[in-house]
Homo-oligomer: A and B are copies of this chain.
Amino acid sequence: MTDQESPENTATPITPAVPPVRPKQTSHRGRSVGPTANSNRESEEIPEFEPFMLMPRGPPPLTEYLDVWDVNMLKQAHEENKQRHHTNLYSSDYLIVRRAQEFLIKITFNRPFKPEQDKFAVEFSIGAGAQYSKGTYIPVFPTAERQSVWRGQILESSENVLTMGITPAPDCIVGKYRMHIAVVTPYGIRRTRRDPKLDTYIIFNPWSPGDSVYLDDEEEREECVLNELGIIYHGAYDDVAERPWNYGQFEFGILDACLFILDKAEMPMTNRGDPIKISRMASAMLNSRDDDGVLVGNWSGDYLYGVAPTSWTGSVEILLDYAGSGGQSVGYAQCWVYAAVFNTFLRCLGIPGRVVTNFFSAHDNNGNLKMDIVLDENGRVNRNHTKDSIWNYHCWNECYMARPDLPEGFGGWQVVDATPQETSDGMYRCGPASVAAIKHGQVCYPFDAPFVFAEVNSDLVYYTRSKDGTLDPVKVNTSYVGRMVLTKAVLDKGRRDITHQYKFPEGTAEERTVLEKAEEFGCQREKASVSQADVDVEILAQEVQRGDNFDLELQFTNHSSQQRVVDIYVNVKKEKVVVHNKDYQNKLVEQGNLNFIATGKVQETGRIVTAMRVITVHNPKLTVQVSGSSRVAEEMYVTVEFTNPFKFSLENVYVRVEGPGIMSINTKQYSIIGPGNTITWTESFSPRRAGTTKLMASLDCAALRQVYGEVEVTIEP
């Protein structure tokens, strides 16, 4: 078995009983064979000449064989490749094409190509240790007789120039490939030298039925793959607020930043053709928890050492900071920031993606379908023992893909969520979970369907806690959680209510069946039948402008014939509250919403009454205006204006403005804006490309957040 002494030590895998010859190499690798390639950045030298036999007298005379003089990747934005592959918007010096669709290259040889005698292959390789069996090395052949997993054909041959069509496999690895041309001679293989200019990005292809991210709807593709302009919904389901976002997936450096995230996660190259694995990995990597991912979460109100979550106007700055710093996590994010940057990642790689907002989102942390709110014996919320949480809203992502790993019918939109809530199988990540599976209570299929199911279907259960620490259910509200799920409609047609995609209508037979189905898979619900109180309380809605004082009005309805006396608490403060500006001014920092909970006890019956309402406090707007000739590469100006409407000064105010394709991020700080004072800020910019887009601006300071403005701009060529 002398051959085992050869440098090839992979004898072990085939004959494990026989120990490998070079122990040190394998001793810490368990049963895996060789290091697994997990970086797109890693490269390797491929020999320019690979002899077939020993050649004592040095290299042979190869003059009579084909020699490559030039290769043209046809990679300009206006050229056919990027146009046909819907990649012309990417700001990049490289060829970017999609899987399962032909692209063209022109090869110039030293002489006309002779099909009958000349043999060559266009070789693509990615990562280190490239191999055909791993899909990291793919030779593409020009002749029909000999084909590899990527189709190749000669489309045109005039004199020395050959136009070749190359079709990457529909499931090929997504990333940046190296490219060589290898000419086969009787003596050996002669290759072109590595030339970075020939590097080619191959990404997902929602336009091709062969690709597992195929989305058969042009309007949806325009929105969920190509649209850089976003709208994110927040506030209250009965008073929805919205804010703009610049996804900027085509901005310079963003595609590289997305691939950097895969490398930072040390994701094996062999997994990088699978949108299921890539989206799950990204849901873990976009938050910094447990893997030094992209964004640091912060709900504290203290953002001294980073950017306030409300201050960002887009994803570009965040992704470029992260990649540019070699993977230093960026501060700070809350749910909509995680979702917006995740959306950029998905669209940039070619996976259809959208941001959705779930109003009254349950964050269940013991895997059941109950949000436990614990009251003390007087009916007052006992915050020390109330551990589950309800968010007035929560944003996550949907991405579109087939699910070959699941039975029929669970492909399509999948929930992924990068906001760290609970660990999934040991890491902070969530999904992809099939929306169809959630709607039908089929929560047994990976990944994390039970958690998402709870976010939209949990019951609100009020308990009273007795002195000895035990809990008794006193009220159950089944209609509160998952009240409405919204996403942006395609092509600026406003909002789109997709609640019905997550659940059947409240109170229908289907809804009951689904809940029972989910229970079969271990989602427990509160079964105790709780007798209703004969008194109802409701918090009345009202429109509140920031800075106004307002009365919070509670309306009681007595269904009984006798008098009822109710001890009522609102957010733990007793009886009817007049909410003064000073009270909430420094409370509703993040999202400009006040979430009121009224709980109490009817003296005569001892029954518990409860009510909840989110009141959105409306903020002043920023005005954004543009001037100058609206032509590509010509100078234009944007003016951002704001007047402080309050009786107090605003301090350390940050203003941001940016616009996809026309203006990268600009920031300005004002140390103070006095009461009634107005600031006016003008910046110049020159549009990079034609078309209709937007400039988006934000104003942010500790006392006033969530102030936005935008203006639409149409640029002529």
Contact = CB atoms under 8 A, between A and B. Distances in A.
Contact of A17 (B406, B419, B593): B593
A373 B14 CA distance: 8
Given A13-B386, A133-B374, A446-B446, A19 B300 contact: yes
A146 to B, nearest CB: 8
A293 to B, nearest CB: 12
B139 A470 contact: yes
Contacts of A419: 30-31
B383 A10 contact: yes
Contacts of A590: 16-17, 19
A521 B406 contact: yes
A522 interface: yes
A587 B18 contact: yes
B470 A148 contact: yes
Contacts of A15: 392, 571, 594-597
Nearest to A335: B31
Contact of A19 (B19, B133, B385, B589): B589
Interface stretch (A423-431, A635-643, A664-672): A423-431
Given A133-B366, A384-B10, A32 B270 contact: no
A263 to B, nearest CB: 15
B421 A17 contact: no
A381 B3 CA distance: 11
Contacts of A134: 366, 387
A141 B3 CA distance: 74
A421 B389 CA distance: 39
A24 B301 CA distance: 10
Interface in A517-569: 520-522
Contacts of A662: none
B132 A572 contact: no
Contact of A184 (B12, B386, B467): B467
B444 A406 contact: yes
A420 interface: yes
A468 B189 contact: yes
Given A27-B302, A583-B1, A387 B133 contact: yes
Given A132-B470, A139-B469, A427-B426, A392 B16 contact: yes
Contacts of A270: 366
A588 B17 CA distance: 6
A335 to B, nearest CB: 8
Contact of A388 (B13, B450, B571): B13
A121 B467 CA distance: 11
A34 interface: yes
A19 B425 CA distance: 29
Interface string A122-148: 000000000111110101010000101
Contacts of A9: 383
A289 B594 contact: no
A29 B589 CA distance: 18
A31 B421 contact: yes
Contact of A386 (B3, B14, B421, B614): B14
A298 B521 contact: no
A422 interface: yes
Interface residues of A, number: 113
Given A13-B389, A297-B28, A444-B405, A426 B428 contact: no
B573 A2 contact: yes
Q: Report copies per complex.
A: 2
Contacts of A711: none
Contact of A372 (B133, B189, B284, B467): B133
A18 B587 CA distance: 5
A404 interface: yes
B594 A17 contact: yes
A270 to B, nearest CB: 6
Contacts of A18: 587-588, 594-595
A520 B402 CA distance: 12
Contact of A33 (B20, B27, B52, B365): B365
A49 interface: no
Contact of A384 (B8, B363, B573, B597): B8
Contacts of A572: 1, 3-4, 11
A421 B17 CA distance: 16
Interface string A71-92: 0000000000000000000000
Contact of A30 (B28, B289, B404, B593): B289
A56 interface: no
B301 A23 contact: yes
B390 A14 contact: yes
Nearest to A300: B23
Interface string A285-316: 00101000000111111100000000000000
A391 interface: yes
A27 B300 contact: yes
A299 B383 contact: no
A404 B521 contact: yes
A133 to B, nearest CB: 6
A14 B573 contact: no
Contact of A389 (B12, B299, B390): B12
A349 to B, nearest CB: 19
Contacts of A23: 300-302
A406 B428 CA distance: 23
12 contacts: A1-B571, A3-B572, A10-B383, A13-B388, A15-B597, A17-B595, A19-B300, A30-B419, A32-B421, A131-B385, A406-B444, A446-B446
Q: Which 10 A-B pairs have the closest CB atoms?
A: A13-B389, A23-B300, A30-B420, A19-B301, A27-B300, A3-B572, A17-B593, A15-B595, A10-B383, A23-B302
Given A8-B384, A23-B302, A133-B385, 20 more contacts: A10-B386, A14-B386, A15-B597, A16-B391, A16-B392, A17-B591, A17-B595, A18-B587, A19-B590, A20-B299, A24-B300, A27-B298, A30-B287, A31-B389, A132-B385, A132-B465, A132-B469, A146-B470, A405-B521, A407-B444
Interface of A: 1-4, 8-20, 23-24, 26-34, 52, 121, 131-135, 137, 139, 141, 146, 148, 182, 184, 189, 270, 280, 284, 287, 289, 296-302, 363, 365-366, 372-374, 381, 383-392, 404-407, 419-422, 425-428, 444-446, 450, 465, 467-471, 520-522, 571-573, 583, 587-597, 614
